[in-house]
Chain A
């Protein structure tokens, strides 16, 4: 059930009406719980049961952890929960990848080995709700949060349908207090929810899916296209992946707002970042902060020596890459991000000793240069991320940097430039709340018709076959 599809619209209208027509808070919680279970089960009911069981296990483990005074028992329970969650993730998502990689490694070493291929279906959203469950039990273990007593509330924290499939990765301490709080109809919140949903829909249908028409054929056969087409495809994919994922997040946030819940912000105009560290503070914020809090800091963060920090950065980003999917291009994408972060850190130290260079980089022109440099380097790493094999990814990168003849794009480039311009204008309007202030100076009918035009345009520009959200596969 895609957010921008008719089945979801019907589902959401029914849930929305039933939810707000119900006067009792606890009944609303149960209603959302049933709706969320149905939402997931509409894709696969058996895997919905798997999440359900694992969630209940986490609930009891956390309760047990809170009740026991023994540190050993707490650790045992933490281990059970984390191992259980990661075990499910590894089994469903990574088992075949690890087996295949081991098999290839053994074969390379000259050993004859063949491992069976496990026939498992990847539960959509497993990477997201596994991380949510882990952050909950770890917080309870650390005493940063209390174990939830109400089972229904806890299950809703994991299963809440707006964030279930592709995040944002919510924290129990942000979400559970909202579940406890009775909800009141709020027009401002409804307005915000609709605004976010429309924005997300526009990003997904009018930009991401159209950019896919540019990128897909070229990424399929990178060796047959010219350098210009490859760069265009790279940039088109950068726009696609951003608009697809942030579009999904906006729709998730909008849907949640319409039900009286606030989910965490996941994107903050990442493509205007002046360096890669800033980029990762603006891109997929809920994952970045999760990796920081539950991996980078426990590993020592940046408190140790320079080399230890570099090691931690590389390790965390490589695991972050692996989180995206069970294949080497994702791992290498993560490693590249780690290397970028290390280079950035080293360059920062280098600049600190050179005030003139530092001042130059702080000028408006220097800022534009840094933003462009960050965007281009991230796009280059996406080329590896998007290709199915590492060989393809590096071949494409090679052709991007060595001028080569070949086919052009299948679409006229103006669609790409227009989309880029739209995204740039969107960013410019969002900066310093400029757009928001300007929008609210307009009379209501103009604003309402503007939203309607936005929706109509999104529907018209949507390709005939809508693509699933990229992050559903993660």
Chain B
């Protein structure tokens, strides 16, 4: 009799353990999803907090935000343009971003009360193209960075929904393990001292969102990284065809800008000569035609910066080194940002 009672108690304990574990994971998931975006997407949060700090620092300067991919993230040193205080530029480049992630980013910024005076949207031709019959961004966007509402809204740009849901579900299933580093930071369980590199993964990011990745590559590094980039993008560019969902996302993004009355510009980041040579003539023609159509249809200026920077300033023929970023930023500031008429009269985006 006592043994039967013991068995029953043990069975109940194990059942409650299972239930408790599921409840704890669901609670953590819900908390992260609803209230802790910085745990879900720490890079976005790090950029947003830096942007807010800059807005506090320059309350009257008009805000120009560059939304783009890792090319922008590594290639635009907005801090170089702060000199006269007439414009506050900020680098909101996020790795693997295409039109879908740019749309998500803009929605988040607007929802959080940040409204750029000028918006610059990077057009990365590969991110608009098909890779193995599916939109390239579909393979690159990490669904785990999105909350449930965002997940529902970007599903329409996916040809394979599982590609979006799989990484999200993997992380959402056991957030205690998959989001442990961010959760520890959030509840101050990490106890690295400030001078160490243990606590902040974005220590290398400056106050304007620029984060160098490769600083001083050896010739071998360049060769290896260039080979990697070519393997990654050459097949897409050789058989270049636009992905309809990506174009739809881009149109939705421009539509959002129009509805929000945000002056918008499109730009293509610099590419090395080797990378530029990957585009077959018809691919290049298709991209240029698309840019022209967008400019006409949406009334947005298009800035083609592909040839602005010399080859030695890239580490893999499409990502800029810090010196290249300086060259690009100076010219972008001089030729694009400062001449814009909106920049002088705009109000603080936080007002």
Enumerate chain A interface residues (CB-CB to B < 8 A).
186-188, 190-191, 194, 213, 408-412, 414-415, 444-445, 447-453, 455-457, 459-462, 464
B-side contacts of A187, CB under 8 Å: 6-8, 10-11, 14
B109 within 8 A of A: no
Taken together as a complex, chains A and B put the C-alpha atoms of A377 and B10 apart, in Å, by 42
Closest CB in chain A relative to B7 CB, distance in Å: 4
Closest CB in chain A relative to B344 CB, distance in Å: 47
Taken together as a complex, chains A and B put the C-alpha atoms of A335 and B43 apart, in Å, by 52
Taken together as a complex, chains A and B put the C-alpha atoms of A456 and B19 apart, in Å, by 12
B-side contacts of A213, CB under 8 Å: 198
Contact indicator A191/B16 (Cβ below 8 Å): no
With beta carbons under 8 angstroms apart, the residue of A186, A411, A456 that contacts B25 is A456
With beta carbons under 8 angstroms apart, the residue of A409, A450, A459 that contacts B177 is A459
B21 within 8 A of A: yes
CB-contacts of B112-147 with A (<8 A): none
For this complex, 20 residue pairs linking A to B, each with C-beta atoms less than 8 Å apart, are A187-B7, A188-B3, A188-B6, A188-B10, A190-B10, A191-B13, A213-B198, A411-B191, A412-B191, A412-B192, A412-B193, A415-B191, A444-B12, A444-B16, A445-B20, A448-B14, A449-B23, A451-B17, A452-B19, A455-B21
| Interface of chain A, main secondary structure | helix
B24 within 8 A of A: yes
Contact indicator B21/A452 (Cβ below 8 Å): yes
Contact indicator A461/B184 (Cβ below 8 Å): yes
Closest CB in chain B relative to A108 CB, distance in Å: 41
Tally of contacts, chain A with chain B, CB under 8 A: 98
CB-contacts of B157-193 with A (<8 A): 174, 176-177, 180-181, 183-184, 189, 191-193
Further pairs besides A188-B10, A191-B10: 7, Cβ < 8 Å: A188-B6, A194-B14, A449-B16, A449-B19, A453-B24, A461-B180, A462-B180
Contact indicator B198/A459 (Cβ below 8 Å): no
Contact indicator B12/A408 (Cβ below 8 Å): no
Give the one of B12, B19, B20, B177 with max A CB within 10 A.
B20
Taken together as a complex, chains A and B put the C-alpha atoms of A414 and B191 apart, in Å, by 8
B-side contacts of A408, CB under 8 Å: 193
A452-B20 in contact given A410-B192, A412-B193 (Cβ < 8 Å)? yes
B218 within 8 A of A: no
With beta carbons under 8 angstroms apart, the residue of A190, A194, A411 that contacts B198 is A411
Taken together as a complex, chains A and B put the C-alpha atoms of A213 and B184 apart, in Å, by 15
Contact indicator A452/B23 (Cβ below 8 Å): yes
A-side contacts of B9, CB under 8 Å: 444
With beta carbons under 8 angstroms apart, the residue of B15, B193, B198 that contacts A448 is B15
Taken together as a complex, chains A and B put the C-alpha atoms of A444 and B15 apart, in Å, by 9
A459-B20 in contact given A444-B13, A464-B180 (Cβ < 8 Å)? no
Give the one of A408, A414, A460 with max B CB within 10 A.
A460
